[in-house]
Structure 1
């Protein structure tokens, strides 16, 4: 498995070959020596619908952040409930 990094302009040009010039993903990937998986990911990121993709990715990141925060706050609430019950029992 290669972890080769490609410059942004290389990726954009690969995407243009597919979206603007009509070459197939398989042809472009083979010619450039990249995987089709990588090329599809670049198309999502740099292609004509990339703004929609970025908005969706941002929304998903926000949802994950909020879920993580909700879990933390729920755990804190449960701890405080137990502490309140303990101290009510001790003082009573």
Structure 2
């Protein structure tokens, strides 16, 4: 079985979709036919590349990526809580 070769631009675009756009790795893997582990590796390599090219005065790309991930998790949790509250208000207002 031949190993597939991916261009640097393809890898960079894929990493961008994961880091910046927040596309789920599992979804992207299914859509592109690339193993999940490979996508995580490309993400790490892209962050390392950004870190190396980062001017000293700018914030760290690693820290920014981690913060984006954390904020997405918090947003998802808040959305779930809002849905629960809406259902609760609907339930109690039926009386």
TM-score normalized with structure 2 length: 0.48
Task: Specify which structure has the higher proportion of helix.
Answer: 1
TM-score normalized with structure 1 length: 0.49
